[in-house]
Structure 1
Amino acid sequence: MNQNSKEVSKVDNGSHHIIQSLIVNVVIVISKGFAAFMTGSGAMLAETIHSSADCANQLLLLLGVKQAKRPADAQHPFGYGKSVYFWSFMVAMLLFSIGGMFSIYEGIHKYNNPEPVHEIAWGIGVLLFAIALEGYATYSNIVELNKRKGSCSFFGYLRTTKDSDLIVIFGENSAAVLGLVLAIIALLVSYYTGDSRYDAIGSLAIGVVLILVAVFLAVEVKSLLIGESADSIILETIESITLKDPLIIEVLNCRTIQQGPGEVLVCVKIKCSPDLTTQSISQLINNFEQEIRTVHPEVKWLYVEPDFQEWKNSL
């Protein structure tokens, strides 16, 4: 598979994981809602709201992926790739507000107004079922992340990757698994101690987990949304091409911006040999651009400026 096919595959896999998580969460919402009704558990209700928010989040991510595929036009000459980042940021905000804050509110309410939990078997059964589904979805995300990270460490990849949609899905799914474990613990402790305040504490803990994940996602996506540089390997490739070409003395300046998943803008200023003709410079730039795009087809926009100065000017 060539590099261009890999970039397309990454986008398609992103959509696949979003749809997979959406289907899983629809099933879980129904089962959790039924269990919350049967048990009267605040932690179960918090988990139901959490999964409902996840469904809305995944629909927003699908919208972002669809919008990102729109071709560039006069109003948006660099395309719509950053739509994915915008909707990913909105997902983080919804996870914080609807998921995290509501869970904390529900926990405080249940702690101040405790109600006994009952029919615990329904709750435990549904939670175990949900853990199996969410666990599978999370495992699938981890497998895909491991394919993409290359030699980078797993957590290092989470911090540096430009695939915001997959990171958001992984964050949601992993938070869901942890939240489900907390809900089971809270439900069991509350039932066997006869003190439903433990159930309320479980709801509070779930809220804290969701808020922490939401803050992490918001910070990571914000950097991409306002304009983050592309992977440093592109600059390394440019430097390598420069060293091989005797007509290029050095790279004076290089700026890259990630415009969306698999879409990069590159602006380069190169110092050329001073005895080149206009036609020679034109051919040099064409060859330079072709070499870069051969190695990195994700470079959708490439601007090369020749210079003969001894100092490094800013672009």
Structure 2
Amino acid sequence: MLTVIIAFVANAAVAGAKTVAALITGSASMTAEAAHSWADTGNQVFLFIAERKSRRKRDAAHPMGYGREAYVWSMFAAFGLFTAGAVVSVMHGIQELVSPEPAGDFAVAYIVLAGAFVLEGISFAQAFRQTRKAARSLERHTLEQVLIGSDPTLRAVFAEDAAALIGLVIAFAGVGLHQLTGSPVPDAVGSIVVGALLAVIAVVLIDRNRRFLVGQGVTADIEKSIAARVLEHHEIERLTYLHLEFVGPRKLYLVAAVDLKGDRPEHDVAVALRRIERELEDHETVEEAVLTLATPDEPSLGFGREEAAPVAEA
């Protein structure tokens, strides 16, 4: 939540400054950057809603909880980035190539771009620290966590802030070349390049949210960790089936077939299974656990009883 709030404040301040600079200078790159920042500001509202709604406790209407709300609202944010950021930037760049307008007061653009870089850098640093922390808990690279992690809001803030910093460098180059050459072409091309960058980021975010909405499975490291957690229970002899599916950020639906030790009456077996399910659900990562008995002929899965790795930031 803190990451989203910091990003919102930074983007709102930057968007206002860029808009004023775009009006004063007439720069196409500054206009593209203003559209980008306003799109990011609006997106933070969607991401804030995603955080709030996805944290609601499950009820009778939503037995798996509301975790997937995060992917729905993050999808809206990604579409907003594409339409309000990418499309506007590309269209304005093309318009500037066809009908160029005079530009001036380049010093204003440089000052605003420098200030925006500082603010966007602060927001990106916060997102980077949080992503790196999650990546270390799963022994992943930071960029790998961005791409495959289950938290869509953190992924969106990280990607959008990274795109914002790259876009600022492109805008600075476009404005600088416009001033040096006197030609509006580099400035217009800069606007188009910024738009293309935003389009790529938006498509990647849309695809990741789509995958989680339709039922994203887990990676091998998380599967191994959860299997070890199941086998930690001294009553379980072996594990023959394991199904894991994300139902929200860092929330899993777990179905497993297990073989209990000994030969117990049916009532005792039922009680033991329910108790183990509740113990598994006590972990913040497991939204719901369903255990069933394995048949004798089913082969065991190739998981050992090594200590479970942390999966809270999956």
State the TM-score, normalizing by the size of structure 1.
Answer: 0.88
Name the structure 2 match of 1:148: 134
What is the Cα deviation at residue 278 of structure 1?
Answer: 1.4
Pair 1:47–1:237, CA change in 2 (3 A)? closer
Pair 1:199–1:237, CA change in 2 (3 A)? closer
Q: Comparing both structures, which one devotes a greater share of its residues to helix? A: 1
Tell whether the 8 Å contact from 1:142 to 1:170 is kept in structure 2 after alignment: yes
Tell whether the 8 Å contact from 1:242 to 1:249 is kept in structure 2 after alignment: no
Name the structure 1 match of 2:13: 27
For 1:153-178, what per-residue CA distance to the aligned partner results, in whole angstroms no more than 9, with x for missing partners?
12221222111100101111110111
Task: Answer yes or no: is 1:307 the counterpart of 2:294.
Answer: yes
Tell whether the 8 Å contact from 2:147 to 2:155 is kept in structure 1 after alignment: no
Tell whether the 8 Å contact from 1:274 to 1:308 is kept in structure 2 after alignment: no
SS of alignment partner, residue 162 of structure 2: helix
Take 2:151 and 2:233, find their aligned partners in 1: how far apart are those partners? 33
Q: How does 1:177-256 map to 2 (within 5 A)?
A: 177-230=165-218, 232-233=220-221, 235-240=223-228, 248-256=236-244
SS of alignment partner, residue 102 of structure 2: coil
Deviates more, 1:153-162 or 1:241-250: 241-250
Take 2:188 and 2:15, find their aligned partners in 1: how far apart are those partners? 20
Aligned residues: CA RMSD: 2.1
Q: Which amino acid aligns with 1:169?
A: V
Tell whether the 8 Å contact from 1:237 to 1:292 is kept in structure 2 after alignment: no
Unaligned runs of at least 5 residues, structure 1: 1-14
Pair 1:216–1:72, CA change in 2 (3 A)? same
SS of alignment partner, residue 298 of structure 2: coil
Task: Answer yes or no: is 1:116 the counterpart of 2:96.
Answer: no
Deviates more, 1:280-289 or 1:61-70: 280-289
Q: Give the one of 174, 178, 192 matched to 2:162.
A: 174
Tell whether the 8 Å contact from 2:227 to 2:242 is kept in structure 1 after alignment: no
Name the structure 1 match of 2:148: 160
Name the structure 1 match of 2:62: 76
Q: Which amino acid aligns with 1:271?
A: D
Q: How does 1:83-102 map to 2 (within 5 A)?
A: 83-102=69-88
Tell whether the 8 Å contact from 1:116 to 1:194 is kept in structure 2 after alignment: no
What is the Cα deviation at residue 235 of structure 1?
Answer: 3.4
What is the Cα deviation at residue 189 of structure 1?
Answer: 0.3
Name the structure 2 match of 1:276: 264
Tell whether the 8 Å contact from 1:265 to 1:299 is kept in structure 2 after alignment: yes
Task: Answer yes or no: is 1:126 the counterpart of 2:117.
Answer: no
For 1:228-255, what per-residue CA distance to the aligned partner results, in whole angstroms no more than 9, with x for missing partners?
1245455324543565667544322111
Following TM superposition, the consecutive aligned residue runs of length 4 or more in structure 1 with deviations greater than 6 angstroms are none
Tell whether the 8 Å contact from 1:248 to 1:271 is kept in structure 2 after alignment: yes
State the TM-score, normalizing by the size of structure 2.
Answer: 0.88
Q: How does 1:5-24 map to 2 (within 5 A)?
A: 15-24=1-10
Take 1:173 and 1:244, find their aligned partners in 2: how far apart are those partners? 41
For 1:256-288, what per-residue CA distance to the aligned partner results, in whole angstroms no more than 9, with x for missing partners?
111112322111112345732113313432453
Unaligned runs of at least 5 residues, structure 2: 300-314
The percent identity for this pair of structures is 27
Tell whether the 8 Å contact from 2:90 to 2:196 is kept in structure 1 after alignment: yes
Q: Give the one of 41, 50, 56 matched to 1:64.
A: 50
Task: Answer yes or no: is 1:262 the counterpart of 2:250.
Answer: yes
Take 1:80 and 1:244, find their aligned partners in 2: how far apart are those partners? 29
Tell whether the 8 Å contact from 2:65 to 2:287 is kept in structure 1 after alignment: no
